[in-house]
Amino acid sequence: MAKPVRPEPKYFISNTTGNYQHYLDTVFGNRPMAGFLGEKSTSYYEMPIVAKRIKNCIPKAKFIFIMRNPVQRALSNYRFSKQNGFESRSLNEVFIQELDVPKNGNISTSVDPFDYLGRGEYMKHIKSYTDLFGMDSLLPIVFEDLIGNNELEPIWEFLKLPSIQNHFGKSFRNESRIEEVDNEIIAKLVAHFQQKNNELADFIGLDLRLWETK
C-alpha cells in the first residue's frame, strides 16, 4: 500500500478539480505506485461536500470509519482545543452552562475546533458516504474494540488484501489522557449521545453498548 507524502493530506477539503492524476501527483508525489493507495484525513468524515468530491474523483473508493466513544471523543476534542489555545472556557462552562464559543479570529483549522458534540454524532456523517457509495464501500470500526482485540484482520478482508500484520503495537494507540471529569458532565454527555448511538448501532449493525458508560 502506498502512503501519502503528508500523513494527513486533506486534499479533498480544498481541491475541486476531480482530476485523478492531479490527486495522485499531489498526494502521493513520485512514490512508486502500489496495488492499493490509502490516506488518512479525519476531517473528511464531517464534510458532506468532501464525500461528493471523492465520488467525482474516485467513484469506487472504500472508507474505514474508526469511531471512538463519543463522550470520550468530545472530552478529548475539548482538551485539544484547550491545549492549542483555542478554548478559554472550563468544562463546566462548555458542557453544562453551554456558554458561547470564544471570539477568536486567529484560528486556522480545517474544521470547527469547538464542535465537540457534532463530531461524535457519527450517524449523520456516515450517511453522507453511504448515500453516495453504498454500505459495501464502508467499514465501521469501534475504536475500543480495535485496541481491545488488537486485531486487524477485518480490515484486510474488507480491502481484499492479504494479511500484512495481525496486530499493532502500543505506539499506534491513541492514549490521550483526560483530566478528572465531573459526573454531571459525563451524565449529560451520555444522555446526549444515547439515542444517536442506538440509531447508529441499528444502521451499521454493531453492538455499541460499551459506549453507555464513561
The CATH number of the domain where 161 resides is what? 3.40.50.300
Cα(157)–Cα(207) distance, rounded to whole angstroms?
A: 20
Give the whole-number percent of the chain exceeding pLDDT 70. Answer: 86
**Whole-number pLDDT of residue 135:** 96
| 14 lies in some domain | no
State pLDDT tens for residues 122-138. 999 999 999 999 999 99
**Whole-number pLDDT of residue 172:** 47
State pLDDT tens for residues 160-183. 888 776 555 554 444 444 457 999
**Whole-number pLDDT of residue 169:** 53
Contact 188, 96 (CB under 8 A): yes
**Whole-number pLDDT of residue 16:** 82
| 18 lies in some domain | no
Cα angle 104, 69, 58 (rounded to 5 degrees) comes to: 75
From the list 83, 12, 23, 17, the residue with the least C-alpha distance to 46 is 12
Give the distance from CA 109 to its chain's centroid.
15
Per DSSP, helices labelled H in 11-152 are 11-14, 20-28, 48-57, 70-83, 91-95, 122-133, 143-149
Cα(120)–Cα(106) distance, rounded to whole angstroms?
A: 25
**Run of H or E residues at 139:** strand 138-142
Q: Which domain holds residue 124?
A: 62-212
Cα(194)–Cα(191) distance, rounded to whole angstroms?
A: 5
For 33-72, give one letter per residue: b (16+ CB within 10 A) or e: eeeebebebeebbbbeebbebbbebeeeeebebbbbbbbb
DSSP assigned state of 69: -
Contact 64, 158 (CB under 8 A): yes
Cα(91)–Cα(101) distance, rounded to whole angstroms?
A: 12
Structural domain count of the chain = 1
| 54 lies in some domain | no
State pLDDT tens for residues 87-103. 999 999 999 999 998 88
State pLDDT tens for residues 31-82. 766 778 888 888 999 899 999 999 999 999 999 999 999 999 999 999 999 9
Return mean pLDDT, the chain: 87
| 36 lies in some domain | no
**Whole-number pLDDT of residue 214:** 55
| 3 lies in some domain | no
Question: What single letter denotes the amino acid at residue 97?
Answer: Q
**Whole-number pLDDT of residue 166:** 58
| 52 lies in some domain | no
Using a 10 angstrom Cβ sphere, with 0-12 exposed, 13-18 middle and 19 or more buried, the burial of residue 73 is buried
Range name among 58-67, 101-110, 135-144, 191-200 with the lowest pLDDT average:
101-110
